[in-house]
Structure 1
């Protein structure tokens, strides 16, 4: 159930809402979670238009910050997430070379630090919530 923040120069994306939806869906796919309400309603992306500049004055970089609950991404999923999210950014921007200028930062909260509906959930509690929704 990651939260995704995208930081880019104003106007970088013609359809920021489409980018947000695609990034959220892509990360759910990488995580391998079932498409139940718990995950669909709590996986989201936020697109921020900000001032961007590298040392040379270029504003053609994008930063994608992903926050997950503890242990959500093993090494294979980390590699897949970084590649696929950078590819989505480039595709939505219509600039294939943007993959090379997209930084994806993966971070985790501690166990018990994932708040949903006013409750700080442990990983075990998140799993229990998911099982409830999966039960017939």
Structure 2
């Protein structure tokens, strides 16, 4: 899965972009075009109003992280992977592989950016109540995922946001490089 965040109205055909990105992920992963992968490889295009982004100082322009680190003592780059990057979840092979890529990218970014005062963190959520569950075409996989609601309370996007807020609000000397976040009842 791949997520793209863009200002509202920037992308004329979000559906076509999402389809092309998902197919690109499949080509990059060199997986065959069979229903298992076609139905479980996804891309999400999220539109954000420019008012949905702001620095603590009220600026809604994207600033260069290195200059921000120089001015403020540190800057943060947060990527989102998944617990699926660490464990195997039947029915989600491409999703798990793409999230493993994001986790590995985060590890490499930490090595490259730390000397510049930039903390790179990868948050690795467990089951979060998002639109992903509505995008799964395989009925058996959808049922298995839905059945977990009977056993555990799913995380919310707000739960993840609070963890990220906690991590980036630490003093410059503290870095939380990889943060798995699970529902209390989720073992993996």
Normalising by structure 1, what TM-score?
0.45
Structure ID, larger Rg: 2
Bigger RCO of structures 1 and 2 (CA < 8 A, at least 6 apart): 1
More strand by share: 1
More helix by share: 2
